[in-house]
Structure 1
Amino acid sequence: MTQGTALITGASSGIGAVYAERLARRGHDLILVARDLDRLKSLANRLSGDHGVVVTPLIADLTSAADLERVVAKLREDAEISLLVNCAGIGPNGPLLGSDPNGLGKMVQLNVDVLHYLTAAAAKLFAARRRGGIINIASAVALIPERFNATYVATKAFVLALTQALSAELEPHGVRMQAVLPGFTRTEIFDRAGIDISVIPTEMMMDAGEMVDAALAGFDRGEVVTIPSLADSELWEQHERTRRDLGPHLSLKHAAARYRPRGETR
């Protein structure tokens, strides 16, 4: 007996590969989605041998509309899939002003468009089945937008907002949502972006295994948002209370007095 099937994007390396190992250890059968056939096959063989689960490689370039549809078709056809883990994504190699526009566009396509398409498809299917979960890998930079490439930050803020909004919509249907907001995590993404990892203070860099273990612990606890390095959960709760307190003031009949022409009263 397994825990159902988990479909993981970006599964051939980095955070996605760690999720694959951890979920296989928990007894999930796996569908691993990535472009690198050789790495996927190697990972699938190792995980099935080590954990006795069924691991199916699914080769797909998620920026290809045809390949993306094949992944959605798999979600639709395989009723055993009960967990979607969206790990596929790319990072920047510098500030926005020095970045190639095509590279920024590809980042938005993969980090936002593809994730949204898969999340929406899975949400509808899982809601109809009245079970399932979706884990979206966002980033801590969604909460500190001034610190990083503007396009990348915006893509991760989208992931956070999408997850929070959809969590409220899916709760009555028995479907779980989680956004994971890691900080710097030791993966291949730095090499691909041409970033020298040695310039990042060691106390800010978490190993991918520890990050995923913390994220799964948060998922087990029912967290909608998990920040793996955050020791004081009250800081997040305070942030959320402040955000909710803004709600009654965000849409009113008249502009605030501070924005009215001088001397005007209502």
Structure 2
Amino acid sequence: MQQKPAVLITGASTGIGAVYADRFARRGHPIVMVARDTERMQTLAARLRAETGVEIEILKADLNDPADVAKIETRLRDDPNLGVLVNNAGTALPGTFIEQSSDDVTRLIGLNVTALTRLASAVAPRFGRAGQGAIVNVASVVGLAPELGMTVYGATKAFVLFLSQGLHLELGPKGVYVQAVLPSGTRTEIWQHAGRDVNKIEGMMEVDELVDAALVGFDNRETVTIPTLPELEQWQQYDAARLVMLPNFRQEHAATRYRRKM
């Protein structure tokens, strides 16, 4: 019996990444867990090995460290057994934009955008040549809603959504599946990083429910999965409105309202 493709999951020591590791292991996939917290990964790996019997590998890496990113890139490029990348690692910052330091903002972008993009870039050519594989990028509904007030975090997640949509158009015809998952408020440790008490925020989804919903979208081969959205038609209408504008972006002249009367 042919072994199922291995799944490499970033941010796998806790929260969404840890549940992804659990769910894919229970589907019979070997798991490569990537995170900074080795102790947590070892605890989770021991449980999953005992409960599922699949191979679980641990790779300690700080994805804001260029050397560590390069190590994971090499693995993604060279290991033909890796068939799924779950780009989950990410963080948030406390305070508003004017309260956040430029160094902290740079680190946030480094993890949420740069590392995620580099890992996708490392594996995409191999997947394209093979005509198979999947890239799951964890974004956020905040990337659609600047009104929620997480300016830089939301901007990074808007990037992840756009990147995923672009990769879908580029890689989909080659047989590669790309999914953007847009959680809403989810009960994870990211809220501690953002300086907020998760127990005081209404409407928090449990991590297990979030990942299970995301995997329904994965199985259905959705390009964009928004687990809290009650009606798929709402997203379809949103996307259709964007497509209606598309022909108007290719114009030789400015729109009439922007032309000065002489």
Asked if Structure 1 and Structure 2 have the same fold, meaning a TM-score greater than 0.5 normalized by the shorter chain, the answer is yes
The reply to whether residue 109 of structure 1 matches residue 110 of structure 2 is yes
Q: Secondary structure at the match of 1:166?
A: helix
Q: Which amino acid aligns with 1:62?
A: L
**Rounded Cα–Cα distance in structure 2 between residues aligned with 1:132 and 1:239:** 28
Q: CA deviation at 1:198?
A: 3.0
* 1:82 corresponding residue in structure 2: 83
Large movers: runs of 4+ above 2 Å: 191-194
Aligned partners of 2:180 and 2:225 also within 8 Å? yes
Q: CA deviation at 1:128?
A: 1.3
User: TM-score by structure 2 length?
Assistant: 0.97
**Rounded Cα–Cα distance in structure 1 between residues aligned with 2:210 and 2:150:** 22
Q: Secondary structure at the match of 1:123?
A: helix
Aligned partners of 2:95 and 2:195 also within 8 Å? no
The reply to whether residue 22 of structure 1 matches residue 31 of structure 2 is no
**Rounded Cα–Cα distance in structure 2 between residues aligned with 1:226 and 1:89:** 18
**Rounded Cα–Cα distance in structure 2 between residues aligned with 1:39 and 1:236:** 37
* 2:131 corresponding residue in structure 1: 130
**Rounded Cα–Cα distance in structure 1 between residues aligned with 2:209 and 2:150:** 25
Q: CA deviation at 1:3?
A: 2.1
Unpaired runs of 5+ in structure 1?
Answer: none
Q: CA deviation at 1:143?
A: 0.9
Aligned partners of 2:142 and 2:150 also within 8 Å? no
RMSD in angstroms over aligned alpha carbons? 1.1
Of 91-100 and 47-56, deviating more is 91-100
* 1:236 corresponding residue in structure 2: 235
**Rounded Cα–Cα distance in structure 2 between residues aligned with 1:88 and 1:13:** 10
* 1:174 corresponding residue in structure 2: 175
Number of aligned residues: 261
**Rounded Cα–Cα distance in structure 1 between residues aligned with 2:143 and 2:184:** 10
Q: CA deviation at 1:251?
A: 2.1
Q: Secondary structure at the match of 2:9?
A: strand
Unpaired runs of 5+ in structure 2?
Answer: none
* 1:46 corresponding residue in structure 2: 47
Q: CA deviation at 1:43?
A: 1.1
**Rounded Cα–Cα distance in structure 2 between residues aligned with 1:127 and 1:50:** 33
**Rounded Cα–Cα distance in structure 1 between residues aligned with 2:145 and 2:116:** 21
Q: CA deviation at 1:146?
A: 2.5
* 1:254 corresponding residue in structure 2: 253
**Rounded Cα–Cα distance in structure 1 between residues aligned with 2:190 and 2:239:** 30
**Rounded Cα–Cα distance in structure 2 between residues aligned with 1:98 and 1:76:** 39
The residue correspondences of 1:190-201 to structure 2 (distance < 5 A) are 190-201=191-202
Q: Secondary structure at the match of 1:243?
A: helix
Q: Deviations over 1:23-62 (max 9, x none)?
A: 1011110000011111111111111111010000001111
**Rounded Cα–Cα distance in structure 1 between residues aligned with 2:193 and 2:231:** 33
Q: Deviations over 1:115-139 (max 9, x none)?
A: 0000111111111111100000000
Q: Which amino acid aligns with 1:245?
A: V
**Rounded Cα–Cα distance in structure 2 between residues aligned with 1:260 and 1:82:** 52
Q: CA deviation at 1:148?
A: 2.1
Of 205-214 and 100-109, deviating more is 100-109
**Rounded Cα–Cα distance in structure 2 between residues aligned with 1:206 and 1:100:** 30
* 2:11 corresponding residue in structure 1: 10
Q: CA deviation at 1:75?
A: 1.2
* 1:37 corresponding residue in structure 2: 38
Q: Which amino acid aligns with 1:172?
A: P
Q: CA deviation at 1:191?
A: 2.2
The percentage of aligned residue pairs carrying the same residue is: 46
Q: Deviations over 1:224-244 (max 9, x none)?
A: 000001111100000111000
